[in-house]
Amino acid sequence: MCLVLCWRKARMRDMDLEEKLQAALDAGHRVWAVGDVHGFHETALQLLEALQLNEGDHVVFLGDLIDRGPDSHGMVQTVKQRDDLCSVKGNHEAMMVEQFHGRLLNDPDLDFQLWMHNGGRTTLDAYMEAHTNDNGKLALDTMLESVAEDREWMDGLPTHIVLNQWRLVHAGYDPNQALTMPSEESLLWVREPFHQAAQPIDEHRTVVFGHTPTVAIHPRGRAGWGEVYRSPVTLGDGRPSIVGLDTCLYHSKQAPKRLSAFDLQHGEVRQVDRVEA
């Protein structure tokens, strides 16, 4: 399926960003990792307020800023415009990069339709709404220029961030691949082999990730909706080997719909419930 498997050379890491985040931690500032937002922009703004950020603090979104929720366009602009916010690439950003072309709006291929089915429809709607005037006229050329700029930005996002004690990534790492040479496919899509690893992926760093709703990782029969996942596998210093932050904003079940943030400085978790209906 070309939608996700036609990988190009990825911008795997951003060394300048890693240096900035590590310097912030070394100086005692907070660096928060935030799980999948999926277009729920108002909820993300509420979480940012709840974090009570001070000068020198930073927030790293773990990818999947877009799709499913009502305002992917607004969410992308917020992260692009604020110096204290950044993101790694998620699989949904990769899908938008591959599929959101003007030519496909009138002649959608199978991959474009698959993206629409996986939440892309709401992203398309959000971009159209953002570029429609009060008279209901869509400025198509302007919208496509905006889309092209945002796709270029998404394509340049790092696929993982490596700090002294932490790895931040969207999906995780394939334990069968060398940490020095992970594939973009695994960083954006891996699930069970990573979650079920019996040994730490990195003996010195906790991996903080999103992608898979934590309820699907918790042992069967235990509560999990809206709960951050901490692996029972631990590092030598006692920290969990992996921490999952996708507490699932987008589901429709009668269960918590929460966005979660994890502070790399102190290990604190802060959450907000979904604002949008």
In this predicted structure, what is the pLDDT of residue 8?
44
In this predicted structure, what is the pLDDT of residue 221?
56
Tokens 């790492």 -> residue: 173
Sequential DSSP letters for 35-90: ---TT-HHHHHHHHHHHT--TT-EEEE-S--SSSSS-HHHHHHHHHH-TTEEE---
What are the sequence ranges of the domains in the chain?
11-90+159-272
Sequential DSSP letters for 230-255: E-S-B-TTS-BSEEE----SS--SSS
Residues of the chain with pLDDT under 50: 1-10
Tell me: the pLDDT tens digits for 100-124? 988 778 888 999 999 999 999 999 9
Q: Are 91 and 4 in contact (CB under 8 A)?
A: yes
Q: Which strand (E) or helix (H) includes residue 129?
A: helix 121-130
What is the rounded radius of gyration, in angstroms, for the C-alpha atoms of the chain? Answer: 18
Q: Using DSSP bridges, classify how beta strands 166-169 and 206-209 pair: parallel, antiparallel or unpaired.
A: parallel
Q: Label residue 211 left, alpha or beta by phi (over 0 means left) and psi (-120 to 50 means alpha).
A: left
Determine the Cα–Cα distance for residues 171 and 155; give it in Å rounded to an integer.
17
Tell me: the pLDDT tens digits for 61-83? 999 999 999 999 999 999 999 99
Q: Label residue 136 left, alpha or beta by phi (over 0 means left) and psi (-120 to 50 means alpha).
A: left
Rounded to 5 degrees, φ, ψ at 246 are: -80, 90
Tokens 């703004």 -> residue: 45
In this predicted structure, what is the pLDDT of residue 11?
64
Assign domain 11-90+159-272 one CATH number from 3.60.21.10, 3.30.470.20, 3.40.50.300, 2.140.10.10.
Answer: 3.60.21.10
Q: Nearest CA to 61 among 204, 209, 235?
A: 209
In terms of C-beta density within 10 A (0-12 exposed, 13-18 middle, 19 or more buried), how is residue 165 classed?
middle
